Structure 1
Amino acid sequence: MRETLSSAQVEVIEAENGKIALTLFEQHQPALVVLDVSMPGISGFEVCQQIRQHKDGQHIPIIMVTGSDDIESIHKAYAVGATDFIAKPIKWPILGERVKYILRASQAFEDLVTQQQELHQLAFYDALTSLPNRQFLMQDMKKFLALARRNNYHAAMLFIDLDRFKRINDTMGHSYGDKLLRKVALRLQTNLRDSDVFGTLSEGSKPELASFGGDEFTIFLSRLNDSNEAMHIAERVIRSFSQPFQLEQYEVVITPSIGISIFPNDGNDADTLLKNADTAMYFAKQSGRCCYKFYCDSMNAKAALRLQLEQDLRSALSSGAILPFYQPQICAQNGRMVSVEALVRWIQPQGRMIGPDEFIPIAEETGLIIELGKQVLQQSCHQASVWMKNGNPIRVAVNVSAHQFKQSDFTDLVKQTLEEYQLPASLLELELTESVIMSDAEENISRLKELKAIGVTLAVDDFGTGYSSLSYLKRFPIDILKIDRSFMCDINSAPDDIAIVDAILALASSLNLGVIAEGIEYSEQITILKSTNNLLLQGYLFSRPVAAEYITLDRARL
């Protein structure tokens, strides 16, 4: 037998009895075992049975060699786990082919098992973090919630979303974003494995961490004594993010927002529990991020209202219900209106007007801000061209969102819009907030220079509320600083505000920039500004934002 198998290019290890066979199996992990039924000491049946009980012997092919007329031995061979048998007398030429066939079949089986394992990994685990995925979690939740329902105990779902994760991908690239997600997954796993976590949980409960793809994770607590246990886990997760994440040479700080739903109070099935935890997470973000919120019934009503508002906003953009109103900007020296700021308003069919504070955040979250910004730019340029043709060349200032400014074709959009409405570039002002232009200063300098080359006026809105590097400010090709209204409202009673306004005015003068003071509601506020050159005033003292037909050249004077 050894000679026959060796000639078939099979490496053969021979054992003279069953005990040695088991030792050699442990040492060599062979691809196939051939056992005689009758051996000294331990029979072939016993060796076969012990191999099958071994962790590495469950699927290995085992061929038993027995007498041709020994039917009972053949039945027993299969009973103890044999794959096949060979009857004596053995036909040696056929033996090699039979062994090779069984080895090929065994390899095919191993390949199938490996494929099934890979498919299982793909189907039930996140490829990036190797954590269980949504499908795995939902299956587990259904099983554990059935136990919780039957035994009348609570469970909890924690839905975790990383705050402002998109800025990592946008500023550092997706490869760093992926590295951060892997680090986050590892930190969550490490924290939940620590033994002191389980001291806060009910007996038999252990946190189950899952990845929902992207920057979303969940923790399922299958058994709770009370909701405080979920709260302790949420607080622990938030604390674990206090240390920065090291991404090669960079230290990145990121925070989690967490929504918590409790079974059965907040949902009697896995889908509802998950949906309500997601809703609570959204409200955690609305509350300032880096915190947790428990779900309550009123959240769904608010979420439904927000969803309806989003749908209505899409319709409003299609139907032209989003319109710019215009607020005059008055020359401090002669009291004449020289420009207006376009401030977007949403007029619903029933006549209700919705302010920007209510719908701009939704537009930014959903990406509708790009289309919204485009429409406002086009409508404002069209209106400015109408005023110009009527003999009133009034400059119109249009706010540009961060999302819109970062679009690669934004400069082209501005050019095309000016050409379409035959509006001189000098009658268009683009306002960007301090935080937008400082978000990526070097790249933004290039973008601002492109816009400046067209001939438009560039203004920094809400100046003084963000962070500016004066060295960068000197390099930005800007024309106007707008003093934020928060510094002007209490100009007579807040010495700190007066000092800030004085500093901005001095800075503008040294850089030869114009100044617009927002929030002018009282004539006393103008006193401190009177001596400033190139000063424009804007506020309720002169006019609220009004529809275009109410703007006339002589309507506002000091």
Structure 2
Amino acid sequence: MLSFVEDSHIEKLKENLAYGFSGISMEMEDIYFIHKNGSHLPIHLKTLPVVVEGSVTEIHLIVRDLSVHHDNHKKFLFLSYHDPLTGLYNRRALRENFEIGIHLEKLAFIHLGLDRFKLINDSIGKIGGDEMLKRIGERLKSICPENSQLYRNGGDEFIILLRKTTNEHTEKLAEKLLREFDKPFYYKHQEYFISVSIGISMYPKDGDTLGNLSHKSEQALSYVKDHGRGHFRFYEKEMDAIYLNEMVMESYLRRAIELNELKVYYQPQIDLRTGQISSFEALLRWNNKKFGFISPGQFIPIAEKSGIIHNIGEWVLDNVCRQLKEWQDKRYRKARIAVNISPKELKMEDFSKKVKQKIDAYGISPSLLEVEITENALANMEDTIQTLNNLKNIGVSISIDDFGTGYSSLSYLKRYPIDTIKIDRSFIQDIESDEKNKAIATTIINLAHNLGMDVIAEGVEKDLQASILLNANCQKAQGYLYSRAVSIDEINEKYFSKRT
């Protein structure tokens, strides 16, 4: 019997047998028997003494093979610390490994985010995307040096802990990572190029806990993604203000409608031939109790990234339709209002339906409402052309804002139902002295007219600019020469004091 047991367990087994001969049942776990092939089997052993008339006549040994249990335990332990898809360490392993020797060395926390990986999933499917992640994990493993550990952070993000390093060595590794991602990945004989953005924080300079270093590397990664992608940045203290203010601002923005902090202002659009106002552009303004007046250029991107833009956009549309209804009921002269629509709103399947519901609810003429979109919203024709055609069928006018600064193809001018082109202010600025700006503006006006579209020039500030535009047959203009965007009370007082 003892010959089957590992030497380290013999004394313990003898002790248990002695208890058995004294009439006491005992159990042993984590004891190993030696198989005839030399392998060691984990077993559970129980001694059962047989007592007859007060004396132990024999002992039964119950032996249970725990090999399957131990194998399952090993698998469970592996899965507890490894990502099941790539086999890399997971976040649990990161938390535990981080503390080992952390106070004895300088460490780099390198946060990698794959750029636009959703396009890969959309292109080759979730299964194909998973296969691509495996290939990416293998490539990263081949790049990481011996003094590093590689983790999958979930989704399309990976983390490298680089120990006993310097800023210079960390920078060299980041550059190597970027170079390796210049090479294609292959799936089903098709090559795919995937870029990566990298944010880096350093221990102990940027923090002494996993939470601090992770947060600051995320801030650096977000900064890279917001500034062109495909490069790396070390965390800098200035990034705190950027992202703290953005988070706080988003919190306030979510309650802006409820707290009555949003207002719709209106900027007149002048008919250059008659000098009369025939339309307005609705412009959103936010006066927050903490930040004061905030530029739309600052809060609109936050609204779009957070999804708040849908609620805000609906609120603005409702306000504009209500205003048109008020003018209609008071029999003021007819004037169209243009509403800026975010590309995210335009992608909503039911957007045109919501617009029609507002028009019907207020009983206004659809021709008095204009939907104003940017060129970039037209980049994906499949997402937008049906919505714009539906709006056109309702009777709503459609205009392109900031023309000449966004999506470069002119094919959409023919394929989309566009009524009006708005020349971006950058081409109007110095039009009286810059021949190139003058030539661009004139070309846009001629192009629009040849396609049967009207033209509005933005940012007109001087009489000479207006005169040049009139001579080029531009129909309308807006800008500080005529009026800044003002409140509805001022609009009513200045432009609708007399009924028609």
What's the TM-score bracket when you normalise by the shorter of the two chains?
0.7 to 0.9
1:187 partner SS = helix
- Equivalent position of 1:489 in the other structure: 429
Q: Which residue of 2 aligns with 1:540?
A: 480
User: In the aligned structure 1, how far is the partner of 2:363 from the partner of 2:185?
Assistant: 52
Partner of 1:187: 139
The residue number in structure 2 matching 1:306 is 246
- Give the match for residue 83 of structure 2: 126
Structure 1 Cα separation of the partners of residues 435 and 187 of structure 2: 44
Change in Cα spacing, 1:159 to 1:523, as seen in structure 2 (3 Å) is: same
Secondary structure at the counterpart of residue 432 of structure 1: strand
8 Å CA contact 1:144, 1:222 repeated in 2:
no
1:256 alignment counterpart: 196
Relative to total residues, which structure has the larger strand share, 1 or 2?
2
The gaps in structure 1 that reach 5 residues or longer are 1-46, 62-81, 86-97, 193-197, 199-204
Per-residue deviation, residues 479-519 of structure 1 (Å, max 9, x unmatched): 11111111111323333333322332222112101111111
C-alpha spacing 1:456/1:256, structure 2 compared with 1 (3 Å) = same
Which residue of 1 is the match for residue 368 of structure 2? 427
- Work out the CA distance in 1 between the residues paired with 2:225 and 2:189: 29
Q: CA RMSD in A?
A: 3.1
Cα 1:351–1:216 change in 2 (3 A) is: closer
Select which of 90, 95, 107 maps to 1:155: 107
Q: Which amino acid aligns with 2:182?
A: S
Partner of 2:182: 242
Paired residues of 1:514 and 1:533 also in contact (CA < 8 A): no
- Could you tell me which residue of structure 1 aligns to residue 41 of structure 2? 59
Q: Which amino acid aligns with 1:282?
A: S
- Classify 1:338/1:184 alpha carbon distance in 2 versus 1 (closer, same or farther; 3 Å): farther
**TM-score, normalization by structure 1:** 0.73
Letter in 2 for 1:158: I
Q: For 2:358, which of 391, 408, 417 is the aligned residue?
A: 417
Distance 1:541 1:494 in 2: 19
Q: Kindly report which structure 2 residues correspond to 1:213-232, keeping only aligned pairs within 5 A, or say none.
A: 213-224=154-165, 226-232=166-172
Say whether 1:460 aligns with 2:400.
yes
Match of 1:274 among 208, 214, 220: 214
Shift of 1:173: 6.0
**Which residue of 210, 234, 238 corresponds with 2:151?**
210
Which residue is equivalent to 1:377?
Answer: 317
- Size of the alignment, in residue pairs? 452
Once the two structures are TM-superposed, the CA of residue 373 in structure 1 deviates from its matched residue by: 1.4
TM-score (norm 2): 0.81
- Match for residue 91 of structure 1? none
Aligned partners of 1:479 and 1:419: how far apart in 2? 22
1:408 aligns with 2:365: no
Cα distance change of structure 1 residues 229 and 270 upon mapping to structure 2, 3 Å threshold: same
CA contact (8 A) 1:388 1:394 kept: no
Find the structure with the greater CA-based Rg. 1
Between the aligned partners of 1:527 and 1:418, the Cα distance in structure 2 is: 37
Q: Deviations over 1:10-55 (max 9, x none)?
A: xxxxxxxxxxxxxxxxxxxxxxxxxxxxxxxxxxxxx948845xxx
In structure 1, give the amino acid aligned to 2:424. Answer: D
Instruction: Work out which of the residue numbers 322, 338, 349 in structure 2 matches 1:397.
Output: 338
Whole-angstrom distance in 2 between the partners of 1:330 and 1:505: 16
Are 2:438 and 1:498 aligned? yes
Measured against aligned partners, the alpha-carbon deviations of 1:137-159 in whole angstroms (never above 9, x if no partner) come to: 121112241xxx1x3x2001011
Q: Secondary structure at the match of 1:315?
A: coil
Contact 1:332 1:537 in 2 (8 A): yes
The amino acid of 2:294's aligned partner reads: I
Q: After TM superposition, give the deviation of residue 535 of structure 1 in Å.
A: 1.8
Deviates more, 1:482-491 or 1:533-542: 533-542
2:216 & 2:130 partners in 1: Cα distance? 27
Q: Which residue of 2 aligns with 1:363?
A: 303
In the superposition, relative to structure 1, how do residues 233 and 462 fare at CA in structure 2: closer, same or farther (>3 Å)? Answer: same
Distance in structure 2 (CA, Å) of the matches to 1:422 and 1:447: 21
The answer to whether the 8 Å contact 2:351/2:387 transfers is no
Q: Is the counterpart of residue 323 in structure 1 residue 263 in structure 2?
A: yes
